[in-house]
Amino acid sequence: MELRKSPLHKKYIESNAKLVNFAGWDMPLSFSGLIQEHESVRDSIGFFDISHMGVISVRGTNPKEYIQKFFPTNLYSISTGQGCYSFFLNNDGGIIDDLIIYDLGINNNSYSEILLIVNASRYEKDLNWLKMNLEKDPIKLLNAKKEKALMAIQGKNAFKYFTEWSGYSIDHLKSFGCEYRELDKFLDSGKVFFAKTGYTGEDGLEILLPKKLALNLWDFLISKNIPPCGLGSRDTLRLEAGLPLYGQDLDESINPYEAGFGWVVHLENGHDFYGKESLERIGSHKIEKKLVGIEIIGKAIARKGYEIFQKGKLIGNITSGSWSPTIKKPIALGYINTEYSELNKEVEILIRGKFFKGIISKKAFYKKDF
């Protein structure tokens, strides 16, 4: 089966990117090299093509009323120009996908619009889940990414360069703030969606824009010696920031409490949602396992599925692991039995037949200091 290609795919070829199959897309693993790209984002700025991700537009009169049942998060806690992190859940409270929900407000004085940015590997499942449970409701579901690219500019200088390119100040936007508008500098080129969100632990923007503008933005960033970054550095950046990856740290066997995201579950709001009864039951008891960070002593890298022990007893499994270019040591995320999850406790990870010591830590190994 032929791999899907981003509208920016030709830029990968021009840049001699190392390509890889990711969720059925032909995507760049790296351009100049993982470490160099990682450090550029941490030190200043880098940019990513994330066009493999799914973007679903939900349109109608008060669409929140109809899609609230899909999310444990109170959608009325955000208003026009704001976004929030949440989950699609199954009836057992398991995580179908994690996503960001953006409220775009009323469009053209005719309908309200919600934008959902979801994982590439779960797009079809998410869309079918919505369609199956909205078929009798006056709601339109559209592929908002059609003929468009999705990009991310990340790092402490991201806002500065976006403003220079767009001619539009975004100082008024707060974290998770968003807009969907035409830019005066690019009139008649189509509307641009941008939000102060990202997946690196740094300040940054995620931008949905027509192909022509995306190519223009790519060329502008290159002209400023800002490096394109691939999936490899995106993974190490998100891991350092303690951000989960669906399919590794999250799946349908995991619930938000186990993953450490109980704060997105608004049971106090009283609204009905898929998985509510299960989460009420789960939330009333102590969870049996939880996601933790682990700093590994030495240079061995723990990969998904590797076993975690404490005093000879199997207590859990690694879900993500890598070398951290920022703190210069191996780091990992993993689920362990809650009774063994105390911070700073020592554990052993079985890596290629040998035990390596690790220290339980907070999930975020890095936090920005500007």
> pLDDT digit string (tens) for 95-137?
999 999 999 999 887 899 999 999 999 999 999 999 999 988 8
More confidently predicted of 110 and 258: 258
DSSP 94: -
Domain 288-370 in this protein, CATH class:
mainly beta
The average confidence (pLDDT) of the chain is 97
Given a cut of 70, is residue 94 above it in pLDDT? yes
Q: Given a cut of 80, is residue 144 above it in pLDDT? A: yes
Q: Containing H/E element for 239?
A: helix 231-240
Question: CATH 3.30.1360.120 region(s) of the chain?
Answer: 9-51+146-240
Closest CA relative to residue 359, chosen from 304, 303, 305, 302: 302
62-92 residue pLDDT tens: 999 999 999 999 999 999 999 999 999 999 9
- Please say if the pLDDT value at position 9 is more than 90: yes
Closest CA to 55 of 116, 10, 109, 11: 116
**Nearest partner of 120 among 139, 98, 103, judged by Cα:** 98
- 360 Cβ contact partners less than 8 Å away, ≥ 6 residues apart: 292, 293, 294, 336, 341, 342, 343, 344, 345, 346, 347
Q: What are the start and end residues of each CATH 2.40.30.110 domain in the chain? A: 288-370
Domain 54-128: assigned CATH number: 3.30.70.1400
Rounded CA-CA distance 180/198 in Å is 17
What pLDDT digit, counting tens, does each position of 166-204 carry? 999 999 999 999 999 999 999 999 999 999 999 999 999
Residue 369 has pLDDT above 90, yes or no: no
Is pLDDT above 60 for 31? yes
Radius of gyration of the chain (CA): 21
Q: What is the CATH number of domain 9-51+146-240?
A: 3.30.1360.120
- The confidence score (pLDDT) of residue 1 equals 80
**Residues of the chain above pLDDT 90, percent:** 96
- Answer yes or no: is pLDDT of 370 > 60: no
- The whole-angstrom distance between residue 228's C-alpha and the CA centroid of its chain comes to 18
pLDDT surpassing 60 at residue 324: yes
Q: Is the pTM of this model over 0.85?
A: yes
Q: Is residue 255 very low, low, confident or very high in pLDDT (cuts 50, 70, 90)?
A: very high
For the chain, where do the domains classified as CATH 3.30.70.1400 start and end? Answer: 54-128
Q: DSSP label at 17?
A: P
Q: In what side-by-side order are the strands of the sheet with 95-107? A: 82-89, 95-107, 111-118, 54-60, 140-143
Q: What is the pLDDT of residue 165?
A: 98
Longest Cα–Cα distance in the chain: 66
